[in-house]
């Protein structure tokens, strides 16, 4: 029995196919390279390892990993059904939004995603160049999202639960002092629809509640990853989930 032969491709047709492939592949590769230009390999590897760990962690497990963040980069996590992430402030017992990050097309509705922003987060400004009461927050460039498998991001989470802190001011050299006043300030803020954390999130407007990590000058952080049921959390403290209240007998 004769072996099936591959159809012959004329040299000119083959050349045309190669050219078409290059036209598609090369600009795409250049676009991806430009998207993450200036981002360190360690930061990208940390993000990919985070996604892998979240997808593999099992119910009841608590783990940790060394996580590298470049200056002025951010992680954006969307919960399953949220159309946006809202940054909330409690004022006289009422929650009001102080920032909104809209869901992006690369994170399909009905799926939790974790996104990497390779540039500084941008806050919407009005015609006078000032930040409105509830500005839209965007990633300037380099936003890459990965949907999660069989695991959900929290729909609500507080700033203390994330291990983040809030600064009301615009000093780039501000070093946090974790005292009672700082704890009270942190307790007023939370996220709904997911959450955001950044290596350094500065607004340039005195009074806007910016987020910072424990030390914004340090690129390497210890990240805790924990799962309970279908929900996974990652944070800069341990554990990520609130401790269960002790029942006395």
Is residue 1 situated within a structural domain? Answer: no
pLDDT of residue 36: 47
Question: By residue range, what is the domain housing residue 55?
Answer: 41-235
- Alpha helical stretches, state H, 70-179: 159-162
Is residue 163 situated within a structural domain? Answer: yes
Is residue 17 situated within a structural domain? Answer: no
Is residue 153 situated within a structural domain? Answer: yes
First and final CA of the chain: distance in angstroms? 82
Strand order in the sheet with 143-147: 143-147, 113-117, 74-78, 194-198
Per-residue pLDDT at 204 exceeds 50: no
pLDDT digits (tens, 9 = 90+) for 171-194: 444 455 678 888 888 899 999 999
Is residue 22 situated within a structural domain? Answer: no
Is residue 25 situated within a structural domain? Answer: no
Is residue 35 situated within a structural domain? Answer: no
118-127, 151-160, 174-183, 204-213: segment of lowest average pLDDT = 204-213
**Is 230 exposed, middle or buried (CB count within 10 Å of its CB: 0-12, 13-18, 19+)?**
exposed
Tally of structural domains, the chain = 1
Nearest CA to 165 out of 195, 122, 192, 197 is that of 197
pLDDT digits (tens, 9 = 90+) for 88-132: 999 888 999 988 999 999 999 899 999 999 987 888 888 888 888
**Is 101 exposed, middle or buried (CB count within 10 Å of its CB: 0-12, 13-18, 19+)?**
buried
């Amino acid at each position: 029995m004769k072996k099936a032969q591959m159809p012959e491709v004329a040299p000119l047709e083959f050349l045309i196919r190669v050219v078409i492939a290059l036209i598609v592949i090369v600009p795409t590769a250049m676009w991806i390279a430009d998207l993450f230009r200036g981002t360190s390999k360690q930061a990208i590897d940390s993000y990919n390892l985070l996604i892998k760990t979240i997808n593999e962690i099992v119910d009841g497990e608590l783990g940790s990993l060394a996580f590298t963040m470049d200056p002025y980069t951010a992680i954006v996590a969307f919960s399953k059904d949220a159309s946006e992430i809202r940054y909330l402030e409690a004022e006289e017992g009422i929650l009001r939004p102080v920032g909104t990050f809209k869901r992006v097309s690369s994170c399909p509705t009905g799926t939790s995603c974790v996104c990497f922003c390779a540039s500084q987060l941008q806050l919407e400004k009005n015609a006078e160049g000032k930040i409105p009461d509830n500005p839209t927050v965007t990633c300037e460039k380099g936003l890459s999202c990965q949907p999660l498998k069989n695991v959900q991001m929290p729909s609500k989470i507080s700033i203390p639960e994330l291990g983040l802190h809030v600064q009301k001011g615009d000093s780039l050299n501000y070093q946090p002092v974790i005292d009672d006043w700082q704890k009270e300030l942190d307790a007023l803020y939370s996220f709904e629809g997911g959450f955001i954390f950044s290596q350094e999130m500065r607004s340039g407007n005195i009074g806007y509640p910016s987020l910072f990590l424990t030390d914004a000058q340090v690129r390497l952080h210890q990240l805790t990853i924990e799962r309970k049921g279908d929900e996974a959390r990652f944070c800069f403290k341990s554990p990520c989930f609130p401790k269960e209240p002790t029942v006395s007998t």
